[in-house]
Structure 1
Amino acid sequence: MSERLNPGDTAPAFTLPDADGNEVSLADRKGRKVIVYFYPAALTPGCTKQACDFTDNLELLAGAGYDVIGISPDKPEKLAKFREKESLKVTLLADPDRQVLEAYGAFGEKTMYGKKVVGVIRSTVIVDEEGKVERALYNVKATGHVAKIIKDLGI
């Protein structure tokens, strides 16, 4: 069971492959704010809705100085299919061994349809320009989450 992050914590460093197999690191984004969101699986209804919401609001978020990175345990090939099928513009990263998911507290026990299961906890961590956690949101809803982030950040 992984520890959840709190505001002020240093965001765990990561380097993961994107949908094209290119390595992307959090360190590459130093000096920019980054919204890192964790989702259970590409090409599923909730995750599609969330990824499309981030894509639809990407210009607004980028204009306010935020990059958006989505991380799931899917392999790069599945992320590429997801990106193409849904015309996604957000950076999608593959974490099949779940090391980054666990480092961010986004993998563990959760309740799904009334049952306790172990899996990806839909989460969003907002990292500031210095690599510190600004906000850490866990067990978020796929629908309406992006609008809430925009409102909470005053964008």
Structure 2
Amino acid sequence: MPQYVLKVNGDEHVIDAPNDMPLLYVLRDRLGITGPKYGCGVGICGACTSHVGNSVARPCIVRIDSVGAQEVTTIEGLATGDVLHPVQQAWIDEDVAQCGFCQPGQIMTAVALLAQIANPTDADIDAAMSENVCRCGTYVRIRAAIKRAAAALQQA
């Protein structure tokens, strides 16, 4: 079985895994990183959304052999010690989560959006979040949280 060296949330891991193993299974089953959730398994729902390199990725459809030396960041890697990332804090402040299942993916998508667009419009937010399904329907609070986080990031 091939061996891979993965850098996940700042830590390096050596993983034995088949070439075609989805990164999501490596994260959850081999490394115990449970923030990215298994939702659809085909990259549509966004529950597993993480960052690979500087891009938003759906680990359920990213093969481990395609990651290479790119840093993988999951929701567990956003906070700095006990200080939450501004998007995580905004999620709490706006009381976004209900069941919470989709929230890690939503937050990771929002972090990537705010890295590209400092002050997103409603249309920007809706476009970015359109492929992250929230069965509880907290989209209005998600939008408010992203705007709150954008303001916090601009003040930092």
TM bracket (short chain): under 0.3
Query: Comparing both structures, which one devotes a greater share of its residues to strand?
Result: 1
Larger helix proportion, structure 1 or 2? 2
| Structure ID, larger Rg | 2
Highest RCO, 1 vs 2 (Cα 8 Å, sep ≥ 6)? 1
